[in-house]
Amino acid sequence: MVIDEPTEQASPNAAVKPANETASRSAASAPGELTIYVDGKFFPQSEAKVSVFDHGLLYGDGIFEGIRFYNGRVFRLEEHHDRLWDSARSICLDIPISKAEMTEALLETIRQNGLRDGYIRQIVTRGVGNLGLNPLQCKRPSIIIIAATISLYPEDVYRNGLTIVTCATRRTNAAALNPAVKSLNYLN
């Protein structure tokens, strides 16, 4: 897999190069089933598991990025990864792989699913620990990458638009819960 080499004229989007004819989906997913990346390995959707003791599940202790890709090109991947690493730093979470390794895993997840257009959800959790709140009990963060198609609204909404309502409720103060951190609790 190759990412476009940066040049002054280069697009900020990473290209997904198709797998060669002899490559097969390493997770051997059933037709219609996604292949999911979990902690360095690929699994069929039905076999991709997260521990019930993962602090991402227990406490929302983790971060995520949602990224679109169009025609085999990941939109502004570098900026999304910068934000993912910034979010991790904000909650004192060490991502256990490099940005280059994360990029390779992300692009391979897209390729494993045979997609040209879709949505990527990258998740980094604090990892498995006990029922206590001490993050030091979590030995290693977990990484999950899902690549799938996404439709946020029914097709007629894209054709005809929709009616919206604004709300006067104020958001939580950014000093209390920073909205720049894309945390799993998604509270702000």
CATH of the domain at 96: 3.30.470.10
Q: Is the dihedral of CA 130, 42, 125, 100 positive or negative?
A: positive
Q: At residue 30, does pLDDT exceed 90?
A: no
Is 5 part of a structural domain of the chain?
A: no
Closest-CA residue to 69 (of 21, 24, 28, 121): 121
Q: What is the pLDDT of residue 151?
A: 84
With cut-offs at 50, 70 and 90, classify the pLDDT of residue 139.
very high
Catalytic pick among 17, 49, 139, 182? 182
Residue 182 annotated as catalytic: yes
Is 171 part of a structural domain of the chain?
A: no
With cut-offs at 50, 70 and 90, classify the pLDDT of residue 18.
low
Domain count, the chain: 1
Residue 41 lies in domain: 14-160
Q: Where are the beta strands (DSSP E) in the chain?
A: 14-15, 35-38, 41-44, 62-70, 73-74, 118-125, 142-148
